[in-house]
Amino acid sequence: MSALRSISEVWQVVELPVERQRLVGWSLLSRLAEQELRHGRSLVLDLVAREPPRQEWVALADRYSAQFRVIECTCRDVEVLRRRVEHRCRDIPDWYELTWSQVERSRSNYVALEEPKLVVDAVNPLKQNLALVREYVGISLVQSP
């Protein structure tokens, strides 16, 4: 979406209402995902998911005989989350930095997907979360001697 934002004529059409922006973003992700799957490659879509695109991505995974897994990332400690948001610099070209008030608004409107999923908590150690994710998606850790 930041690439679209850099083209003012396009962004004027895409930006509002926010639902249109979401649809465009989901459509772009879907086309990129399909290209990767068509070439037999794995991929991860990192976003706040909603039900309509999730259904499309399940069908896409089925079409290419790929796994589809949902991993929900949370942070049970609101103060830790706030500190992380306030001190983070995403540094995405032509995109804004998130403010705590935007995160609070997003959290209040968030509707979790109800399908089977893995939930990882960002308060837990990274190594623990990675092990859970690898097990959930079926990636074995091969240790070098």
Element containing residue 60 per DSSP (H, E): helix 51-63
Residue partners of 97: CB distance under 8 A and separation at least 6:
88, 89, 90
pLDDT score recorded for residue 47: 85
Residue partners of 46: CB distance under 8 A and separation at least 6:
none
pLDDT score recorded for residue 143: 47
pLDDT score recorded for residue 140: 60
Mean pLDDT of 53-81: 94
Cα→Cα distances 39→19, 32, 64, Å:
31, 11, 10
- pLDDT band with cut points at 50, 70 and 90 for residue 2: confident
**Residue extents of the structural domains in the chain:** 2-137
pLDDT score recorded for residue 145: 45
- pLDDT band with cut points at 50, 70 and 90 for residue 114: confident
Mean pLDDT of 50-71: 92
pLDDT score recorded for residue 144: 44
- Which residue in 123, 121, 120 sits closest to 79, CA to CA? 123
Residue 76 has pLDDT above 90, yes or no: yes
Angstrom distance (rounded) from CA 121 to CA 77: 9
